[in-house]
Amino acid sequence: MKTVDLSSASVRDLNQALHDQVKDLQDREWLVTHPDGAHNLAVGVNEAISIDIQGHAGYYCAGMNQKASITVHGNVGVGCAENMMSGAVRVKGSASQAAGATAHGGLLVIEGDAGARCGISMKGIDIVVGGSIGHMSCFMGQAGRLVVCGDAGDALGDSLYETRIYVKGKVESLGSDCIAKEMRDEHLHELQELLNRAGFNENAADFKRYG
């Protein structure tokens, strides 16, 4: 396992080393220590490697991710996994606003809560949140699935296109063009599969569907 200690190395050093794996893959497993809330950690990774960030991360952590599996053992700031294309990002804590914004693919798991605008303009990503989400989440959501095991704030799914939303708890209000929909067998099946992939012990039958 390759270890990068951010108490002595810079974020630029870390990201350059991760990008270099595309040309010369030497280390499949990476450990990042002392992140101390630094911004732009593990941005633009484009290789099937595993990255463990041992602490809190700042803005845009794991942005533009492709192929990599990234775990943050703490909270993350604005824009975690923004514009992700593939791979998986897991946040062991909570996420600030705009988690998964504009992302085209991959799986984002937030074990805690997510702030406002979670999944804004999402374009194919799957997002599973263990807690609750803030207002204006999934605004202009175009494709993909958003699963919330807690509650959802105001204006959920405003100006929604074709994203499917599943919420277990209370929805404060629905945005324009978003309505409650029937939960058919196909939706129960896909939701249970997503919950299982995310590692959450939840029953799909306890959720409601919106779109």
Average pLDDT, the chain: 97
d(CA 185, CA 204): 10
Q: How big is the CA angle at 63 (ends 93 and 29), to the nearest 5 degrees?
A: 75
What is the token pair recorded at 86?
A: 């593939």
Task: Inform me whether the pLDDT recorded for 26 exceeds 90.
Answer: no
Please, which residues bridge with residue 127 across strands?
A: 108, 146
Residue 197 confidence class, pLDDT cut points 50, 70, 90? very high
- Averaged pLDDT, 14-34: 91
Mean of pLDDT values over 154-165: 97
DSSP-assigned letters across all residues of 34-89: --TT-SSTTTT-BSS-EEEEES---TTTTTT-BS-EEEESS-B-TTTTTT--SSEE
Q: What is the pLDDT of residue 25?
A: 82
pLDDT at 21: 85
CATH 3.40.50.2300 fits 58-210, yes or no: no
Give me the residue spans of the domains in the chain: 58-210
Q: In whole angstroms, what separates CA 210 from the centre of its chain?
A: 19
CA 14 vs CA 10, 31, 41, 163: distances in Å: 6, 10, 8, 34
Report the pLDDT averaged over residues 37-63: 98
Whole-number pLDDT of residue 24? 80
pLDDT tier at 23 (50, 70, 90 boundaries)? confident
Model confidence at 27: pLDDT above 90: no
Q: Tell me whether strands 107-110 and 123-129 are parallel, antiparallel or unpaired.
A: parallel
* Cα(159)–Cα(119) distance, integer angstroms: 13
Measured between alpha carbons, how far is 45 from 53 in angstroms, rounded to an integer? 14
